[in-house]
């Protein structure tokens, strides 16, 4: 029974599809047609059997393919997505038909596994739309022609009364004047517009309603055209019945009797306020864009996702050293000028552009024609509905980069100079402490007391020198990183050993604290690293944990082995960090301002920035998971090396 129902509903369903005015086609991801309903013949002339030998893209008008292909790509990327597109499709008889297609991605649906396309013939609708547009464009010409008709009619009928009847019913404001230039008539729409009587408007009365600043220009055009017996067209502001000045377009033509005698002018007026403000808005946005492009403060280009350049301003031409023709040539692609490390930044920026319409400023380095490097800050916004083209702005930041380089060099020099005397001071303190330790003969109690005091002071001084040495070392590290003078000596190492040794050192230095260590079952986790630098990163995580977490809480260190990376995690039960702080702590000189986050020895906020740079130099990643009051887990990963024996 249920089988019968199902067969019946299946037949119903088929009959519905077959007789629907919409055609339904099923497409594969490559566009080939796997099914087409009967109605396809009504729309495109092909029988379903003929249509399924076709690739859907082959019948689309070449001019519409890019936009349809874009929609299709997006559709393929998003299961369940529905989109509607209008395009021209080739009929079997060779003519082009406008169709509207609603496409749905049901590739993931086990019963369908296709892109379902509903096609609807909209050719007539498109033609009507086209005619309407043409009609709208002709409107002004039509109004002019109407006036001529009225004029001719007035001449032949010589019926002033009938002329007025017709003019009063016209959808425009109409006026006439005599050979003395004075106005002799205004139709009902004119009087309704100005809210004045015919008597008030006659002669030169109408000019009272013209906006004072426009009046002289208006009268000049009217008088000079009149004297030359020439048609005129002028716009001016005219006061409406409600006191508001509206922009009107006034067209006047000389008027002759059949025997050629000039009898004055006849004119028509329409309210163009809305049109003008639309035009002005358009002009304004066009001007805004133009002034940005032409100001030559920043380099500007219009490009697409493939990097093809459609427009460039002079500034960009100068920045890159290529001529405008070279940049606009068919074969030029913006990414060919980009330093390889920044290709990924560009690809990411285009993804954001397509999804959000704009991408935030990012640093990129281009190669000029002469081979020199051009550091830039680049931001972009799409300029069309499909988001396939973007206006890209390039700010030359070479000066800023150079200043930064000089600052880093200075920092490097200063820290280097500071390090030498610090080492000497430390050496001297240690020597003094050693001599105190080795004091050979027993001293008088007073002198012993004094020596003990001196020893305490020297130990405190040694602690301070150690802090200072670490700060200077951090400054030196940062400046080396910035100047790309950071050298790593990579060797095959066992990460287990590095972690064990670093933890042991820290435990030694903070004997009262409890550091737990959890290692993986594998005794050897090979990595290609600079062991000293990796130890430095873990030391930084550990000293932070010791510094910011309460002394009675354990700190745990874990080494985990994943498919392609090894991960080291340091968990503390300290104050934790909010999301915003988690994002900023990796920046140079950033320190959390909240209470509980300042360490006892006042760091510089450089440790984590250095850790991040070191790990990234090893092609690994850093991160933190944390919540306020719930502690923090700082981690880093390193690519695992193959399991050969360690050197
Ligand atoms: P600093 O020398 O100031 O410790 P870091 O770069 O190592 O510099 O850390 C940056 C800031 O991040 C610190 O000033 C501190 O406010 C915060 N921070 C780092 N580690 C922790 C942690 N384990 N718990 C809470 N806050 C931390």
Residue 189 backbone dihedrals phi, psi, to 5 degrees: -55, -35
pLDDT in tens, 383-398: 888 889 999 999 999 9
pLDDT in tens, 418-449: 888 888 999 999 999 998 888 767 778 888 88
Report the predicted TM-score, pTM, of the whole model to 2 decimal places.
0.46
Average pLDDT over residues 474-502: 86
Cβ-based neighbour number of residue 413 at 10 Å: 12
What's the CA-to-centroid distance between 296 and ligand 1, angstroms?
A: 43
Q: Which two tokens stand for residue 405?
A: 């380089």
pLDDT value of residue 522: 81
Q: Which of 27-36, 128-137, 226-235, 577-586 is the least confident region?
A: 128-137
pLDDT above 60 (res 155): no
Instruction: Tell the residue nearest (CA) to atom 8 of ligand 1.
Output: 605
pLDDT value of residue 132: 57
Q: 566 pairs with which residues across the strands? A: 561, 638
Query: Who lines ligand 1 at CB under 6 A?
Result: 540, 544-545, 548, 572, 574-575, 577, 585, 590-592, 597, 599, 603-609, 632
pLDDT above 50 (res 296): yes
Give the position, in ligand 1's atom list, of the atom nearest the Cα of 474. Answer: 2
What DSSP character marks residue 628? Answer: T
pLDDT value of residue 284: 81
pLDDT value of residue 70: 86
pLDDT value of residue 143: 56
Cα 136-140-145 angle, rounded to 5 deg: 120
What DSSP character marks residue 338? Answer: B
Query: Nearest CA to 55 among 88, 34, 32, 83?
Result: 32
The rounded distance, in Å, linking the Cα atoms of 174 and 146 is 11
Contacts with 641 (C-beta within 8 Å, 6 or more apart), sequence order:
492, 526, 527, 528
pLDDT in tens, 508-534: 989 999 999 999 988 899 999 999 999
Residue with the bigger pLDDT between 559 and 35: it is 559
CB 566 within 8 A of CB 560: yes
Q: Helix, strand, or coil here: 221?
A: helix
Strands of the sheet with 358-367, listed across from one edge: 309-312, 299-304, 389-396, 373-382, 358-367
pLDDT value of residue 646: 47
What's the CA-to-centroid distance between 604 and ligand 1, angstroms?
A: 9
Cβ-based neighbour number of residue 225 at 10 Å: 18
Q: Which two tokens stand for residue 50?
A: 């003929």
What's the CA-to-centroid distance between 410 and ligand 1, angstroms?
A: 25
Q: Which of 13-22, 555-564, 602-611 is the least confident region?
A: 13-22
Give the position, in ligand 1's atom list, of the atom nearest the Cα of 574. Answer: 24
The rounded distance, in Å, linking the Cα atoms of 362 and 315 is 19
Q: Which two tokens stand for residue 337?
A: 């000028």
pLDDT above 50 (res 3): no
pLDDT value of residue 247: 94
pLDDT in tens, 338-376: 999 899 889 999 999 999 899 989 999 999 999 999 999
pLDDT value of residue 162: 66
pLDDT value of residue 145: 60
Give the position, in ligand 1's atom list, of the atom nearest the Cα of 606. Answer: 6
Give the position, in ligand 1's atom list, of the atom nearest the Cα of 594. Answer: 16
Alpha helices for 510-570 (secondary structure H): 531-548
Average pLDDT of the chain to the nearest whole number = 86
Cβ-based neighbour number of residue 631 at 10 Å: 21
Instruction: Tell the residue nearest (CA) to atom 9 of ligand 1.
Output: 605
Q: Is residue 165 very low, low, confident or very high in pLDDT (cuts 50, 70, 90)?
A: confident
What's the CA-to-centroid distance between 596 and ligand 1, angstroms?
A: 10
Category of 78 on φ-ψ map: left (φ > 0), alpha (ψ -120 to 50) or beta: beta
C-alpha to C-alpha distances, 206 to 173, 273, 317, nearest whole angstrom: 12, 19, 56
Average pLDDT over residues 58-65: 88
Residue with the bigger pLDDT between 611 and 74: it is 611
Q: Which two tokens stand for residue 583?
A: 């994002």
Q: Helix, strand, or coil here: 268?
A: strand
Average pLDDT over residues 531-555: 94
Give the position, in ligand 1's atom list, of the atom nearest the Cα of 634. Answer: 23
Contacts with 640 (C-beta within 8 Å, 6 or more apart), sequence order:
525, 526, 527, 561, 564, 565, 566
Instruction: Tell the residue nearest (CA) to atom 16 of ligand 1.
Output: 592
pLDDT above 60 (res 168): yes
Query: Nearest CA to 29 among 119, 112, 107?
Result: 107
Residue with the bigger pLDDT between 125 and 212: it is 212
Instruction: Tell the residue nearest (CA) to atom 12 of ligand 1.
Output: 585
CB 411 within 8 A of CB 465: no
Question: What is the maximum alpha-carbon separation in the chain?
Answer: 144
pLDDT above 60 (res 54): yes
Give the position, in ligand 1's atom list, of the atom nearest the Cα of 610. Answer: 6
What's the CA-to-centroid distance between 591 and ligand 1, angstroms?
A: 6
């Amino acid at each position: 029974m249920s089988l019968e129902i199902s067969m019946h509903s299946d037949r119903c369903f088929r009959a519905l599809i077959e007789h629907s005015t919409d055609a339904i086609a099923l497409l594969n991801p490559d566009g080939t047609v796997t099914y087409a309903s009967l109605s396809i013949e009504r729309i495109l002339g092909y029988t379903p059997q003929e249509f399924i030998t076709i690739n859907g893209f082959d019948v689309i008008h070449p001019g519409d393919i890019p936009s349809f292909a874009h929609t299709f790509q997006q559709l393929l990327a998003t299961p369940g997505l529905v989109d509607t597109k209008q395009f021209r499709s080739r009929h079997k008889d060779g003519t082009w038909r406008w169709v509207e297609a609603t496409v749905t991605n049901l590739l993931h649906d086990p019963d369908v596994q296709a892109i379902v396309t509903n096609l609807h013939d909209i050719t007539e609708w498109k033609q009507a739309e086209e005619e309407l547009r043409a009609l709208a464009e002709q409107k002004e010409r039509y109004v002019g022609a109407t006036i001529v008709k009225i004029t001719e009619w007035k001449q032949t009928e010589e019926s002033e009364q009938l002329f007025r009847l017709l003019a009063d019913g016209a959808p425009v404001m109409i006026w006439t004047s005599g050979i003395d230039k004075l106005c002799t008539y205004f139709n009902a729409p004119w009087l309704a517009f100005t809210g004045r009587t015919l008597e008030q408007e006659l002669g030169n009365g109408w000019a009272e309603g013209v906006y004072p600043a426009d009046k002289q220009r208006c009268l000049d055009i009217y008088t000079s055209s009149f004297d030359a017996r020439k048609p005129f067209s002028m716009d001016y502001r005219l006061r409406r019945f409600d006191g508001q000045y509206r922009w009107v377009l006034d067209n006047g033509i000389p008027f002759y009797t059949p025997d050629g005698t000039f009898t004055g002018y006849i004119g028509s007026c329409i309210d163009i306020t809305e049109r003008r403000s639309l035009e002005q808005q358009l002009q304004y946005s066009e001007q805004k864009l133009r002034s940005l492009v032409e100001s030559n403060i920043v380099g500007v280009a219009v490009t697409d996702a493939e990097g093809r350049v459609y427009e460039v301003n002079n500034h960009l031409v100068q920045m890159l050293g290529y001529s405008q023709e070279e940049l606009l040539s068919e074969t030029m692609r913006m990414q060919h000028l980009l330093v390889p490390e920044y290709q990924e930044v560009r690809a990411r920026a285009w993804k954001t552009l397509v999804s959000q319409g704009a991408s935030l400023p990012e640093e990129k380095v281009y190669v000029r024609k002469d081979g020199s490097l051009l550091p830039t800050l680049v931001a972009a916004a799409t300029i069309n509905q499909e988001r396939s083209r973007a206006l890209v702005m390039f700010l030359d930041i070479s000066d800023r980069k150079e200043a930064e380089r000089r600052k880093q060099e200075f920092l490097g020099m200063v820290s280097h100079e500071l390090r030498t005397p610090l080492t000497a001071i430390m050496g001297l303190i240690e020597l003094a402490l050693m001599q105190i330790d080795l004091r050979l003969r027993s001293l008088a109690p007073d002198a012993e007391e004094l020596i003990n005091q001196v020893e305490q002071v020297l130990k405190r001084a040694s602690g301070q020198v150690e802090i200072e040495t670490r700060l200077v070392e951090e400054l030196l590290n940062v400046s080396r990183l910035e100047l790309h003078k950071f050298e790593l000596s990579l060797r095959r190492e066992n990460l287990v050993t590095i972690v064990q040794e670093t933890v042991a050192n820290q435990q030694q230095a903070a004997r009262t604290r409890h550091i737990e260590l959890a290692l993986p079952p594998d005794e050897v986790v090979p990595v290609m690293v600079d062991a000293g630098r990796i130890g430095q990163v873990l030391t930084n995580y550990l000293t932070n944990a010791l510094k910011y977490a309460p002394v009675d809480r354990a700190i745990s260190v874990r080494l985990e082995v994943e498919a392609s990376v090894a991960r080291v995690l340091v968990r503390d039960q300290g104050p934790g960090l909010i999301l915003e702080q988690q994002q900023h702590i990796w920046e140079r000189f950033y320190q959390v301002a909240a209470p509980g986050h300042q360490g006892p020895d006042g760091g510089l906020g450089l440790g984590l920035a250095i850790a991040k740079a070191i790990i990234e130099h090893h092609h690994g990643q850093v991160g933190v998971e944390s919540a306020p009051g719930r502690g923090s887990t700082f981690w880093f990963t390193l690519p695992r090396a193959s399991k050969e024996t360690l050197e």
